[in-house]
Structure formats: C-alpha cells, structure tokens
Amino acid sequence: MKKLVLVGAGGHCKVMIEAIDRAEYVIAGILDGFAELGTEVCGIPVIGSDEEAEGLLKKGITHAAISLVGNLKLRRELLYKYKKLGFQFPRIIHSAASVSGSAQLGEGAVILAGARVNAEAVIGDYATVNTGAVVEHEVNIGENSHVAPGSILLGGVSVGKDTLVGAGSIVLQMTQIGDGCTIGAGSVVTRSLKAGSTAFGNPARLKE
C-alpha cells in the first residue's frame, strides 16, 4: 500500500479523509503549520508542518494531497512546493461519486461524494469537483479550479485554471469562463467571463 500525507487540517481535510481509498493508500498523517501537533482529524494525527515534508518523503511517504480549497492561490503554491520536492498527487474519487468511462481526469484531480462527471468531460490537474456537483458532457475544467458543492456545469462549458465556481451555481451550456475567475454562490452564469472576473447573482453580473 502507498503512503500518503494530507496538507491542511481544516474542514475540507475531513472530506478528503473519507474520500481516500484505504485499500490503496495509508494516510500517514497531516501537515499543518497552524494546528497543534498530535491534533486528530477524523482519527488522523497532525504530524508536523511543511518543514517536515522533505523528511517524510525520505521515509517513503511518496504521495500527497492538498486538503484545502478555500484559497486557490495558496493551494497552487503548496502544489508547486510539494511537486518540486518529489511528491506524487493521486487522483481521489469518492466511492459515492459517478465518473463516466469516457471522462478524462488529470493528475491529482479530486471527485467527491455525490458528484457526477459525465461523458467526455475533462477535469484538469489538481482540480476539485466537490460534493454533489454536476459536470455535464464535454465540460473542460482547468488546473487547480474548484467546482464547489451543488454546482452544475452544463454541456460544453469551459472553466479556466485557478477558478472558483461557487456553491450551488449554474453555468449555462457552452459558456467560457476564464482563468482566475470567482463566481459567487448561487449564481446563474449566462454569458462568458474574461480572465480575472468576479461575478455573482441571477443572472450573474460582474462585480464593479
């Protein structure tokens, strides 16, 4: 069995712990610079901070998963740091998720409980499709993006990298969402958004 360390001891860590296939991975512990050493999250202890990462790798803990989604910039920084050290990032698919056989999942992609990824969808490296989200046919989600719980991306939608689709949002078919965008919770996106946009509401409007 492969040994894996989680990075980040917040609430999302609990969801990740329950999603990881324990028949394939042993969770060796959690790294978090703000949590007290020995604190347990769903029975998994905090064993140190980022400073211990290289030492863990030398001990044979070769896989990592970033267990935070609220700050995509910080998440990307951590991904780069751990990849540079030599960690591998497995795909994590909850047993209660549904993923089409024709879908493509990148390195480190995470699909959580109740999520549906349909025909010929592409989930980029390190992207997260969170609890109960629906990614319809031929949707393309970019690297390190987060489709929050209950969101629905209709057919042919394209989402750039480092983008947040807020909880319960709907993105209408064929809409193009650029890199680094933020879509507020409960929004209905009816038209394409340029990179760096923040939009919210029904219909979604750009934040001024």
Distance CA 94, CA 103 (A): 16
Active-site option among 12, 94, 137, 146: 137
Distance CA 62, CA 60 (A): 6
Which distant-in-sequence residues (6+ apart) come within 8 Å of 74 by Cβ?
Answer: 68
Distance CA 62, CA 151 (A): 33
> Which two tokens mark 11?
């609430």
SS (H, E, C) 93-130: ECCCCEECCCCEECCCCEECCCCEECCCCEECCCCEEC
Q: Is 137 a catalytic residue?
A: yes
Q: How far apart are the first and last CA of the chain?
A: 51
Q: Which amino acid is located at 144 in the chain?
A: N
Beta strand 122-123 pairing with 104-105:
parallel
Catalytic residue list: 137
